[in-house]
Chains A and B, each alone.
Chain A
Amino acid sequence: MSTINETRPADALRAGDRQADEHASATKPLGGIAGWMDDRLGGAKGVSFLAKKVFPDHWSFMLGEIAMYSMIVCLLTGAFLTFWFVPSASQVVYDGSYVPLQGVTMSDAYRSTLGISFDIRGGLLIRQIHHWAALIFVVSVFVHMARVFFTGAFRKPREINWVFGTILSLLACIEGFAGYSLPDDLLSGTGIRAMNGFIQSAPVIGSYMSYFIFGGAFPGEAIIPRLYSAHVLLIPAILVGLFTAHILLVFLHKHTQFPGPGRTNKNVVGYPLLPVYIAKAGGFFFIVFGVIALISAVVTINPIWAYGPYDPSPITAGSQPDWYMGFADGALRLLPGFLEFETFGFTWSMNIFPGSLVLLPLMWTIIGVYPFVEAWVTGDKREHHLLDRPRNAPTRTAIGIAGISMYVVLFLAAGNDLMAIKLHLSINDITQTLRVLFFVAPPVAFWITKRICLSLQRADRQKVLHGRETGTIWRHADGRFEEIHAPLTPDERWALVQHESHQPLELTAGKDVNGVDSPVARKERLRAKFSNFYFRDRVPPATPSELEAAHHEHDAHAAAPEGGHEAIEPAGASQERETIKADKQPG
């Protein structure tokens, strides 16, 4: 084993690799426009720094790029739409080219949205690109967040950027809601109607908040212009500002990388910004934009002309928000009505308030503080630039999946009516089942995920110690059959053995020197409990001596085949062996 490393240190360059700061000497002096600019801005220094900036490569790093590019597409098409959209709730009579609505009284906002869809050439395409890009923006933000969470990329020094991203994702949802409410069609108007109900559910100040937000009684004429200024000015300004900070921090911290041969916590291995990442990332903007345009060309989204103008009296079956608000809508469908009560004549709408006004801030706060909780439990003050494989952080991965399962239950609940219709089920049964699942699914998902992670870790161990299964069966002279395992190369093996494996913290003595419970000791006890929760079930990575022992076992194996697969377990770590055995017991 040791011979492998003698040839080349971990982060040494191979023949043909270049050191980041060593680049082709300039053959041409800076002149022309570039020279004129540099005389005034001195940008050449920055250019050489930026051009050699290294980005590691992995498909999952693309998810954040999709979010970034779809946001840019939204900004671009949104600017177009403002040229024709009229953010006004004034009532007008429609006389545009869409025949079924001619002569109908509607708001100017709805009339102008119909105009964009039917009378502005290419307007429908721009509207559809805007809506599709918004949907893709929010989904890519969420998936990007999941990637960052499950790979532990939020760890020091990136906690601030995780918080920025958390705020960005919340803003993205609110921005989307404000946007799809603007056309003032029957569906979005019903959404605003429900929003008014949410606001009114706030204890003490709810009614006043409703009158403040709507500028008087619901719906009034103020909400459309107010949502408009929030949608095109306030929220985008914060979004773009935070997004810029988000990207700058990625530059500052340098991107994380997945573990691999030659990749360490102190380097970043990848391709330079110029030309490879300019071409790949720049090209990817065109791919994202192009795909959104292709979808918008052939798939209708939000056909507002089919819904009609907003009127509080009519309604359509299957009224649902855009997908990213689905989980909140689902929470409202699951909360049972009996939670509402009155004290001294005041109404506590606990059947609405927790699912509407509390859910979003609460959920995003939990997401935002997670890195600090985990850092406190591990007590890890080091910087982390190498990503975790999700299996190597079983408890974190399980927490994440448990959270996602909760989210999915709420999300499914938002479609309980459609499920009932399409699947011919009772809506009451579906709702009751989901109510139970909301509490049952997370712990079950947690347990299953953690077991899968531990099993995958054990599979990694086995692969390291006994090699890869080749599928070749040998028949020995004595009639025995054996599958041949091919040993892993050091490069293949490294990804499976490189990770750190925490051990649960020991319970410290709970008393101070005088035998009194000290607050510090209490805090430490709590930390030990958490540490135990996180790291109790532990499969340590294989070590060179275990590999050595496994080779011995293999030799012994040939003599005594009854040995079975007990040899997977490390010979020395008896404590760990017990854990694994306990895991294997049924139930």
Chain B
Amino acid sequence: MRARFDPLTAALWTAAAAVFCFIYAPLAVVVLYSVHDAAIIAWPLRLGTLRWYGVLAHDRAMIDAAVASLKLAVLAVVIALGVGVPGAFVLDRFDFPGKAAFRRLVLLPLILPGIITGVSLLSFFSFVGLSLSSGFPLIPGWPVVLGHGAALTSVVVTQVFARLQRFDRALEEASADLYANEWRTFWRVTLPGIRPAVLGAALLVFTLSLDEIAVTFFLIGRQNTLPLQIWGLLRRGITPEVNAVATVIFALSLLTIVLWSRMMRDEI
């Protein structure tokens, strides 16, 4: 390390620090205003009340929306893994006519603006006559569940496929040489090999589903999801309750990330 002051390096570091501030300052603002002691969000900031968290804890509609979002996210993960993992295997191992088209098709929701996927799924469900509120009681409607599944399967395919491409197939052949049947080889050799990617993709789908708006907006039935509920609150005039719910979401995401990176450290 050179101790000499270097203006170019100093300028670069300053720029980097400024960008960090730009990224984090708005988040800090949201967190600080969640303990703002006034009903109107305005400057100056008056720190020191937890009452907005109290309001949040008694907001029935918000809690229902959060529960609906969690259910939807779990269903999205189940569907995305159920279709995406086989999809990744198909791309990695099978040759069939139209494989390249299949690959491009699966990746489309990743690339296109969410609103396009949203309106095309809306057109589809309306065309086949599936009502937006159809489904079993206590779960979100079929269209929104299928829509999340369709939009987020790509995430699983991408992540698992990338892992499969790096996976050493000789391990599977060795397992076969040792008289393990294909089922056993899959469970004992292949699956452990791709497990980090599967778990990573599952967490990613879960998070994305919780935060999804563009597709949800068009397909939602009777029960709002959490982002749509927050969106409604933002449209109606803002109280610091929005900041409280935002802070809770922020804290939970940070917790997930920390737990996750711990888990992954042992995994890889």
A and B: partners?
A: no
